[in-house]
Amino acid sequence: MKAAVRLSEAAGKAILDGHGLRIPGGQVARSPEEASAITVSCGGTSVIKAMVPAGGRGKAGLVKLVNSPSEAFAAARDILGRSHAGCCVTELLVERQLAVAAEFYLSIVLDPWQEGLVMMFSPEGGVDIETVARSAPERVLRVPVHPERGLLPRSLPDLLERSGAPHGLATKLTQFARKLAALGAAEDLLLAEVNPLVLTVAGGLVAADCKMEVDDAAVYRHPEHRAEADASLGPDERQVRSLGGTLVSLESGDIGIICNGAGMGMAMLDMFRAAGLKAANFLDTGGGLTQDRAHGVCSVMFRNRGLRGALVNIWGGFTRLDEVARGIAQAFREEAPPYPLVVKLIGLNQGAAVALMSEIGVQTVQEVETEKAVALLASIVTGPKSGIEGLRASV
């Protein structure tokens, strides 16, 4: 499961710039005064853009072309504090205006089906690419990026022109795309999307917008993104990470999973589905669980009041389960989750652990098959199947 660290537009553009790709040039403003001053340094006109991690700002009136520092002041005052896609606008990107001749779409995306990066290009830039892909799929070009040699230029100009790139521009576009592909690999990106890539009246290609996502598993190689990676986690995810685990929240489910091992967690998702349950998350504790860490991760799970049930599944090995059980029990007493909990513990000191669970009134499963624990939780949460539901469950 890949988690993406979304970079701000300014951070993304700084990376483009660092790799020799043209950007409009500008600065971040946090007040109307700053927006006005930056506009002066841009030569008296500018584009004022809300810096929020979501697209569709143009349509929402959050990208404004202004023709004087005082217009910049007014536009900034209007945009700051507004909210877009659930984010409050606290920062603006104030940039030089471009004289736009045409707008294209260009991106490099990590495609798991291709097992590598893929370049996407469309002559229909500035609009939602999904819309173009639906209404005119022939206008979206997809070319795999060679893992070592990058984007191969041999047939690319031809392909670009066939997809609708203006005649004579294919060579320039190829150069831009090759650099973008090289940057995508070097920076461990899941996505680098330039929409629009602007062809200026003077004939240059400039990245007017930029959306970048870094693979969070590669952030250790790019410490400059550490702060963004942390900020992209919610408070629960951050706390679990500080305890050596990983919490992945899932949409629309209502049962919590705690397990020690991501493989087991993934298998449990399938078992839940088969049993008619939907997981709200899965929390992989990581190996070598101690009482303190068990206490910490269980507290995070148990204080989530929106759940309908939870399953703790610990495969012990040499992990001392009596200690783990003490951690679970402590969190259980403190947080008193208002929903049923089933605990499966297999391994060292299992007997003592199970005794401790029954002391606090938590049902345990001591069989090796996790399916048994899932079935027990399902029967507690949904009750015994009867009538039409029972019939459906049996087919």
Instruction: Give the number of residues in contact with ligand GDP, rule: CB under 6 A.
Output: 18
Q: Which CB atom, from 99 or from 388, has the smaller least distance to ligand GDP?
A: 99
Nearest to 160 by CA among 179, 145, 174: 174
Q: Nearest approach, Cβ of 14 to Mn ion (angstroms)? A: 17
Decide whether 82 or 320 has the Cβ nearer to Mn ion. 82
Per rule CB under 5 A, is residue 9 in the interface with Mn ion?
no
Which string of b and e fits 174-186 if b means at least 16 CB within 10 Å? bbbbbbbbbbbbe
Inter-CA distances, 137 with 124, 130, 158, 191, 241, Å: 11, 9, 18, 20, 41
String of contacts with Mn ion for each residue 167-196, x by CB under 5 A? ----------------------------x-
Minimum CB separation of residue 122 from Mn ion in Å reads 13
Q: Which stretch binds Mn ion (CB under 5 A): 22-30, 103-111, 207-215, 321-329?
A: 207-215
- Return the residue nearest Mn ion (CB atom): 209
Judged by beta carbon, residue 55 or residue 347, the one nearer Mn ion is: 55
209 binds Mn ion (CB under 5 A): yes
Tokens of 385: 């199947």
Question: Residues with Cβ < 8 Å from 3, sequence gap 6 or more?
Answer: 216, 217, 232, 248
Asked if omega into 196 is within 30° of 0 (cis), the reply is: yes
Find the binding residues for ligand GDP in span 37-76 (CB under 6 A). 47, 49, 55-58, 63, 65
Cross-strand partners of 83: 88
Binding mask 94-123 toward ligand GDP (x if CB under 6 A, else -) reads: ---xx-x--x--------------------
Contact 211, 197 (CB under 8 A): no
Least separation in angstroms between CB 123 and ligand GDP: 14
- Of 58 and 340, which CB lies nearer to ligand GDP in the complex structure? 58
Beta bridge partners of 246: 284
- Return the sign of the alpha-carbon dihedral for residues 86, 87, 89, 92: negative
Residue 1, number of CB atoms within 10 A of its CB? 10
**DSSP codes, 20-55:** T-----EEEESSHHHHHHHHHHTTS-EEEEE--S-S
Binding mask 189-218 for ligand GDP (x = CB under 6 A): ------xx-----------xx---------
Q: Supply the minimum distance, in Å, between the C-beta of residue 146 and ligand GDP.
A: 29
- Show the tokens assigned to 155: 């047939």
Which DSSP category does 8 fall into?
P
Residue 222 engages ligand GDP in binding (rule: CB under 6 A): no
100 binds, among ligand GDP, Mn ion, none (CB under 5 to 8 A by kind): ligand GDP
Distance CA 265, CA 260 (A): 8
Letter for the amino acid at 121? F
Residues that bind Mn ion (CB under 5 A): 195, 209
Residues that bind ligand GDP (CB under 6 A): 24, 47, 49, 55-58, 63, 65, 97-98, 100, 103, 126, 195-196, 208-209
